[in-house]
Amino acid sequence: MPKKSKKQKKQNELNFTGGDMYVQGEISGLMRLQNKYFNKDTAFTIEERQLLGIHGLLPPVVRSIEDQVELCFMQFLDIDEDLTRYTYMIRLGARNTRLFYKLLAMHGDKCLPYVYTPTVGLACLHAPYVFQLPVVLFITIEDKGHVYNVLKNWPQADVRAICVTDGGRALGFGDLGVHGYPIPKGKVTLYTALGGVRPHYCLPICLDVGCNNPQVREDPLYMGLKRERPSRAEYDEFVDEFMEAVVSRYGPHCLVQFEDIGNADAFRLLTKYRFKYTMFNDDIQGAGVVALAAITAAVNISKSKLEDHRILFQGAGEAALGMANLLFVALKTEGLDDNEARSRIWLRDSKGLVVYDRPPGHLGEYKLMFARKRAAIEKLEDCVREFKPTILIGVSAQYGAFSREVLELMALYNKRPIIFAMSNPSSKAECTAEEAFTYTRGKCLFASGSPSPMLDYAGKKYHITQVNSLYGFPGIVMGATACCISRLPPAIFIVASHTISNLCTDDDYRHWRLLPPLSKLTLCAFEIACNVVEYAYKSKLARRKPHPTDIRAFVKHQMYDLNYEAATKTWLQEYEK
């Protein structure tokens, strides 16, 4: 008697009773429905339901993914509160991954703000109320010595992109400790929604090292360790172990994005790891990518050159220094030497203009590069009078820092002042769009860090550009993971910035857009990914071999398929084993 094939054996395992068909096995139908990567909800056909043992667990209706999306969107619109919309989206993603991302793809303009900024900030402030299992991997400093074992508890073994925070500087709210966990969750969501990185490759992590904000830490509902942050030596040992565990568990090609780490720690870790691991810090490097792209557009609209401009930063933290450093590199590519490029950039922090002549310990080492050799200037308006900047960038999280006097001075000294109030959420912004246009008498080119509605000023309508790192990091992550890049040098971020600015059209400029419209976010990510891959292979930074002959096809092949047919292939392959 001929030996039966595996397929025939599987067929013989199917039992028919009264026309019903079911599969006996270790995995129950309910378990299949609870797998978010596999679940199709009511899109399962009757045949699939019978084959998989889920017949009867769903109502008889069979809907397409497009019909499901419209139903979910109606449910979403029926919700009045922002935080409830956030939890709705999180729960949908935890139940049906493809439907979640299809909803974002079809209605991103309405839904993205409720998985990322600005609502993610609200989620941080109400972290205990929105917590869902399992959305983030929590690793505490008490796990020191066993970090690798904790990583192994994450259900996906093939992780290629990690976003990690310690909550030390959550948006403009300061130290939130473990309650900063919604930030990496939001970031990895955009890896997939905009960049196309397959979601099971992505891992959001919160390192709980304590919290130095007693108001947060002593709250009865605080979910983290009720302790202060450790010494620098203990902190560094813990993060060193974490990075080594990542490489041991997922390989040297796994990209680690640091997010919302406290200023001093963030710069130190970036300096320490940037040539040793595949990593970057989005607050420092990613912010610079999009700011430089928007500045490039503003420079083009004003029909000038970058080297003709003088930039004053209100704020000298991670974002400001990241932007300043990338602008420094960009100015040098325009032909300026180090001193000339540095002379175009001034920083002002909480103590006034950043100058050399400060008491010991009052000038951080990472500000030193842009410190001025002159007398101190305390007030922002006096800095504007002295330096006469053409570009004013706010990243201080100090609401109203761009006063009427400051804005009027910018208009006095410039035909077309460039003003970016980039702190977010909007409650931390240095000024509003209406204030900027009113006090510069409509002369300014303005951008904000949070979404703003269209402004009607003096009979004209102005699109208000949101300078947000979501234009940059999804594409950088997709490109880096696609080619298994070994490290991310500054040139990668210049490549990404130029890609974004090159997507601005003359029509964008006519509508005062300094970045492409949000409808082009996925296009931005794809083009950045392709250019990052191309640069990586040309610079011998790509670990994946051989060099692809068609880079665009190479990137497209690795992008997440939003259609249910891909899920069907997955369970059919499992069934055929």
Write out the catalytic residue numbers: 116, 187
Please tell me the distance from the alpha carbon of residue 27 to that of residue 461, in angstroms, as a whole number. 58
The string of DSSP letters for 83-126 reads HHHHHHHHHHHHH-HHHHHHHHHHHHHHHGGGTSTTHHHHHHHT
Residue 270 near residue 281 (C-beta atoms within 8 A): yes
Please tell me the distance from the alpha carbon of residue 322 to that of residue 282, in angstroms, as a whole number. 9
Q: How many residues does the chain have?
A: 577
The tokens describing 205, both together, are 């992590």
Any binding-site annotation on 259? yes
Any binding-site annotation on 260? yes
The tokens describing 329, both together, are 């590199």
Contacts of 44 (CB under 8 A, 6+ apart): 52, 54, 58, 62
Any binding-site annotation on 468? yes
**290: number of CA atoms within 13 Å, CB side?**
28
Please tell me the distance from the alpha carbon of residue 17 to that of residue 349, in angstroms, as a whole number. 76
The string of DSSP letters for 233-294 reads HHHHHHHHHHHHHHHHHH-TT-EEEE-S--HHHHHHHHHHHTTTSSEEEIIIIIHHHHHHHH
Please tell me the distance from the alpha carbon of residue 53 to that of residue 34, in angstroms, as a whole number. 13
The tokens describing 99, both together, are 């439907």
The string of DSSP letters for 175-198 reads --GGGGTHHHHHHHHHHHHTT---
CB atoms within 10 A of CB 55: 18
Which is it for strands 20-22 and 15-17: parallel, antiparallel or unpaired?
Answer: antiparallel
Residue 138 near residue 209 (C-beta atoms within 8 A): no
Any binding-site annotation on 456? no
Angle, helices 65-77 vs 97-111, to 10°: value is 50
Any binding-site annotation on 213? no
Please tell me the distance from the alpha carbon of residue 191 to that of residue 193, in angstroms, as a whole number. 6
- Give the DSSP H or E segment for 208: strand 202-208
Please tell me the distance from the alpha carbon of residue 145 to that of residue 343, in angstroms, as a whole number. 47
- Give the DSSP H or E segment for 320: helix 318-333
The tokens describing 129, both together, are 């109320």
Any binding-site annotation on 424? yes
CA 494: distance to chain centroid? 17
The tokens describing 557, both together, are 């092949």
In terms of Cα–Cα distance, which of 35, 36, 106, 113 is closest to 64?
Answer: 106
Q: How far is CA 550 from CA 54, 537, 541, in A?
A: 42, 12, 18
Q: Which residue has the tokens 């399962």?
A: 44
Known binding residues for (S)-malate are 169, 424, 468
| Annotated binding-site ranges for a divalent metal cation | 259-260, 283
Q: Which residues are annotated as a binding site?
A: 169, 259-260, 283, 424, 468
